[in-house]
């Protein structure tokens, strides 16, 4: 590959990584602040896709185990077909995630950065004060609850 193209590609990857970091760094501790909703759909899509990928992998593993345990030729044929479909679905999800730069199976440093970003984002969301300190609602209702 041309050195110039390689340099452009690495700059694009660095810019994309900066963009992801910037998306998460805006979070603050006020969950009602609309700024916290920026880029949430993309982060949710990435989370859903990763969960779907893990479930597809789990399905392939479970189907393979069932295939080795079955004795009926008809059941084995059915499980073999299901196994091939599961592998194809796993491949399709993986390719989508790689294309969208949500998953870097061949670039461990990039994947590590995404994992760190995800962990930091989780910690920030976990530290948000989502519930009030005082949860006593006595006297806030216009009538008393029906007695049993």
User: How do residues 32-65 score in pLDDT, each as one tens digit?
Assistant: 666 766 777 888 888 899 999 999 999 999 999 9
Q: What is the mean pLDDT of residues 94-123?
A: 91
Q: What is the mean pLDDT of residues 138-145?
A: 66
Residue found by looking up tokens 């950065």 in the block: 113
pLDDT band at 140 (very low <50, low <70, confident <90, very high): low
What's residue 62's pLDDT? 97
Distance CA 86, CA 103 (A): 19
What's residue 118's pLDDT? 86
Can you say how many angstroms the Cα of residue 116 is from the centroid of all Cα atoms in its chain?
Answer: 13
Q: In the predicted model, is pLDDT for residue 146 greater than 70?
A: no
Q: pLDDT of 55-102, one tens digit each?
A: 999 999 999 999 999 999 999 999 999 999 999 999 999 999 999 999
What's residue 79's pLDDT? 97
Distance CA 86, CA 63 (A): 9
- Reduced to 3 states, what is the DSSP secondary structure of residue 32? coil
Q: In the predicted model, is pLDDT for residue 143 greater than 70?
A: no
């Amino acid at each position: 590959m041309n050195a110039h193209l390689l340099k452009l590609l690495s700059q694009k990857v660095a810019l994309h990584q900066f963009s992801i970091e910037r998306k998460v760094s805006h979070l603050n501790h006020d969950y009602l602040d609309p700024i916290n909703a920026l880029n949430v759909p993309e982060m949710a899509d990435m989370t859903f896709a990763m969960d779907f990928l893990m479930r597809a992998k789990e399905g392939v593993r479970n189907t393979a185990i069932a295939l080795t345990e079955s004795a009926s030729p008809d059941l084995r044929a059915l499980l073999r077909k299901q196994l091939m479909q599961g592998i194809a679905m796993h491949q399709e999800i993986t390719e989508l995630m790689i294309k969208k730069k949500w998953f870097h199976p061949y670039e461990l440093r990039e994947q590590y950065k995404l994992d760190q970003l995800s962990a930091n984002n989780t910690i920030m969301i976990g530290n948000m004060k989502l519930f009030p300190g005082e949860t006593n609602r006595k006297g806030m209702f216009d009538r008393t609850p029906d007695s049993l």
